[in-house]
Structure 1
C-alpha cells in the first residue's frame, strides 16, 4: 500500500496543482477542506479521497483531532501538504503533535510562521546581509520625521501577519499618498487588532518582481530550484502572480539559497524579490512557506516540488536539479489576469498591443488541464452562477 498524501485545502488552484503533481506519479491523494461549496479541486479525477473536516481557523483543535484520527487508520504515516497560509500556521502551531502522525518537511516548530511574519523576516534577512525595503514601525520614536526623510510618499502600510490582514481587508496592503492617509490606514489596521509596518516602495514596474523557488532537504540544503519573473499581478502592482514567466537569474540562487540554508529552512520556499529600477539591486519582499501560485509553471519547467517533498519524506529522494536556462514558459491565471489587464490599461501602465504580444508564449495554466477538465468547468460554473445572482439582485 503506497503512502498517502494529505492535501489541506482544495478550494483554490494551489491545492489542485498539488493533487495533480502527486497523482500523476501514482501517489494516493486525499483532499481535505472545510466545505464542498466552490471546492473545485474535489472534482479532479486525480483525487483518491475527498473529506470535509473542521475549519483550521475556527476550530483548529477539531481539525487536529480529525487529522490524528485519519492517520491512525492508515498503514503508513501520510505526507502532509498545506495549500494556504492558514494551513501553514495551523501545522506550525501543532507541529510536535502532527509529526507523530504525519510526514512533514519542517522540523523546527515556529520557523515557517517566523518567515511569514514580515517584521520577523526582515530582521532575520538583515542579520544575514540581505537588502530589505526601508521600514518604520508605527511605535518608533520620531515616526513622522522618519517617514518624511527615509520612507517618503507614496508608501506602503503592510501587515506583519498577512493571512489575518487579507482575511479582514481582502487585500495585501494599503498604499498611501500623504500623512493623513497613512494615519487613517494605521487606524484601520490597529482597530482590527492587526500589527502593521510602513515601508518604502522599491522603484520599478511589476516586471521587476522576481521569485526564487526552492526545495531544501532535511539537511537544509537546496536540492532543486527555479527562478521566475513576474509580468502581471492582481491586484495590480501589489498582488499575486497572474502572468509570470520562468527566467534564469543565477544571482537569486546566490542570495536566496544561501539565506534559506543559513536559517535552517527545510521543504519548499518561494522568496519574492524586487529589483530596484535605479540601482539594479534585489530586495527581499516576502517568503511563501508553502506551495504557491506558480506550482504548475515549476512542474512544467521540470521541477515537481510536491513530488520532490513526497519522495524525500518516504526515504526515496530524487536527484538534485535546477532549471539553469530560459524555457519561455509562463504561468497564466486567465480569470484574474483579465481583471489585471483592465487595471493596467486603465492606469496607462501597459499598452493593449503589448498585452496581446505577451500571450505568444507556451503556458502552464492555473486551473485548466486537458486531461483533467472538470475542475475548470466547476470553477467557471461557480463564477457564472455568482454573476447571475448579482444580476438578479440588481434587477429586483
Structure 2
C-alpha cells in the first residue's frame, strides 16, 4: 500500500502524527526460549499459532474441544476443558493451581472469556506468567459495550446515539426520541451470543418490534442498550490496531477496512482489505491515548454519511478474526508483542505496501446474493470487487496446515444441518 495515494484533505498532518509509518527497521534475531499459551479463540488462535510457531516459538492452546487452533500442526500441545466445567474455572485450575508446569509462559487472551479471566486474576497470573501489559479494570471495561461508548464520548471520539435500558418501561420512554434503524445491543456480547446465536438484534422501522426484541433479551436476563445504527453500506467500516506498552509507547499502528459482511450490515466481515487509513488511525489513537490504554487494542469505526464523522462501533482488547490479514500484510504484531514481553528489542515496522485482502469466499458469495436481492450489487460489480490486483489470504485454510479448516467446515456443516432440521 502506498500511503501517498488517495489521501483525504488534511492527511499530511495526520501522517505526521504517525512517524513510525515512514520508517522500517530490520528484525533483530529473535530469542524463542519462552513458550506461549493461547487462551481460547477461533481463527485468531489458528493465525497466531502459525505466526508464532513459524518463528520457532513453542505454542500451546487451552480451551474447549473444537478450538480450531488445536488442530493446527503448529500447536505443540493442548489443554482441554472437561465437559461441564466453565472456562474460567478450568483456566484457574490449570494456571493458578499447584501444578507449575506452565509457569513462565507468555499468555495471550484470544476471546472475551479469557480476557475476563486474565483481567480478574491479573495480579496472581502476573506473578507466574508473562501477561500482556494492561490495566485489568480498563480491559474489563472494554467488554462492556456501553462503557466503551461512554469513555469514547468522554475523550472526544464520536459515537452513535445510545440509551441504556434496564426495564421495558425505559424502552417505551424512547418512543419519540429514537431514529430507526436501531440495534438492541448486549452490554456483554459473550453472554448474548450463546443464547441467541447472534451478536445483536436489528430493528428496521417498527417501535413494536423494538419492544419485542428488547423484551426477548430482558426475559433472558441479559443487560442491553438501544443503539442508533449508523446508516450506509459495510464498506464505510474501518479499524485501527495498536499495542501500548507499560511505558506508554505504541509498538505499531495498523488499519484496515471492510469491503463486505455477512449477513449484510450485521454479521462478521467476509472481505477485508489491509490499507493505511490516516484518519482512522488518528481517531483510534485519540481513543486509546485518551482513556489511558495499555496492551492490545482494536477499535472499529463506521463513517456516518449524514455528518461525515467516524463513529465508534466496538473495541476489542485482543487479536481479532482478521489476525491472519494483519500478519500477512507484513505486520507480525504477535511477534512484536512477544518481543516486548520477553524483554527483547522491538523494531519499528511500517504497514505493508502490498494490497492484501482477507476473503471468505463462501460467506462473501452469500453477502453478494443478499446485496443482489436488495438491488445494491450486480454480478459485474461483484466480479470487479474481486479483481484489482493484490494478494488474498483465507481466514483459516492453508495447504500446509489443512486440519483447522476441515474442523471448521465440519462445525459449520453441523450448524447448517441443524438450522435446516429446525425449520
- Mark yes or no: TM-score above 0.5: yes
Q: Deviations over 1:300-346 (max 9, x none)?
A: 111112111111101114113332x7532111123432333332223
Shift of residue 374 of structure 1? 2.8
Shift of residue 375 of structure 1? 2.2
In structure 1, the partner of 2:100 is 72
Provide closer, same or farther for how the CA distance between residues 77 and 354 of structure 1 changes in structure 2, counting only shifts above 3 A: same
Do 2:134 and 2:295's aligned partners in 1 also have CA atoms closer than 8 Å? no
Q: Deviations over 1:261-289 (max 9, x none)?
A: 23222222110000012322100111011
SS at match of 1:130: coil
Runs of 4 or more consecutive aligned structure 1 residues displaced over 6 Å after TM superposition: 385-391
Distance in 1 between the 2:392 and 2:265 partners?
22
In structure 2, the partner of 1:254 is 282
In structure 1, the partner of 2:128 is 101
Do 2:133 and 2:245's aligned partners in 1 also have CA atoms closer than 8 Å? no
Q: Deviations over 1:78-127 (max 9, x none)?
A: 01112221211121122122222221113422211202211111111111
1:20 and 2:47 matched: no
Do 1:332 and 1:366's aligned partners in 2 also have CA atoms closer than 8 Å? yes
In structure 2, the partner of 1:362 is 391
Provide closer, same or farther for how the CA distance between residues 384 and 263 of structure 1 changes in structure 2, counting only shifts above 3 A: closer
In structure 1, the partner of 2:225 is 197
1:344 and 2:371 matched: yes
SS at match of 1:242: strand
Distance in 2 between the 1:22 and 1:215 partners?
17
Do 2:161 and 2:228's aligned partners in 1 also have CA atoms closer than 8 Å? yes
In structure 2, the partner of 1:32 is 62
In structure 2, the partner of 1:148 is 176
In structure 2, the partner of 1:285 is 313
Shift of residue 3 of structure 1? 0.7
Do 1:116 and 1:286's aligned partners in 2 also have CA atoms closer than 8 Å? no
In structure 2, the partner of 1:208 is 236
Distance in 1 between the 2:232 and 2:394 partners?
26
Provide closer, same or farther for how the CA distance between residues 383 and 173 of structure 1 changes in structure 2, counting only shifts above 3 A: closer
Provide closer, same or farther for how the CA distance between residues 339 and 94 of structure 1 changes in structure 2, counting only shifts above 3 A: farther
In structure 2, the partner of 1:129 is 156
SS at match of 1:367: coil
1:115 and 2:142 matched: yes
In structure 2, the partner of 1:7 is 38
Do 1:56 and 1:86's aligned partners in 2 also have CA atoms closer than 8 Å? no
Shift of residue 131 of structure 1? 0.5
Shift of residue 389 of structure 1? 8.4
SS at match of 1:148: coil
Q: Deviations over 1:116-155 (max 9, x none)?
A: 2111111111110110001122259986564533x21221
Distance in 2 between the 1:89 and 1:196 partners?
19
In structure 1, the partner of 2:9 is none
In structure 1, the partner of 2:112 is 85
Shift of residue 390 of structure 1? 8.3
Q: Could you tell which deviates more after superposition, 160-169 or 132-141? A: 132-141
1:373 and 2:392 matched: no
Do 1:4 and 1:27's aligned partners in 2 also have CA atoms closer than 8 Å? yes
Provide closer, same or farther for how the CA distance between residues 39 and 195 of structure 1 changes in structure 2, counting only shifts above 3 A: closer
Do 1:54 and 1:66's aligned partners in 2 also have CA atoms closer than 8 Å? no
Distance in 2 between the 1:211 and 1:286 partners?
10
In structure 1, the partner of 2:328 is 300
Do 2:359 and 2:394's aligned partners in 1 also have CA atoms closer than 8 Å? yes
Shift of residue 56 of structure 1? 10
Q: Aligned pair count?
A: 387
Distance in 2 between the 1:57 and 1:345 partners?
45
Shift of residue 54 of structure 1? 4.8
Q: Deviations over 1:8-44 (max 9, x none)?
A: 126x211111101111111100012222xx4332221
Q: Deviations over 1:133-181 (max 9, x none)?
A: 01122259986564533x2122111111111111211111111121111
Computed over aligned residues only, the root mean square deviation of the Cα atoms, in angstroms, reads: 2.6
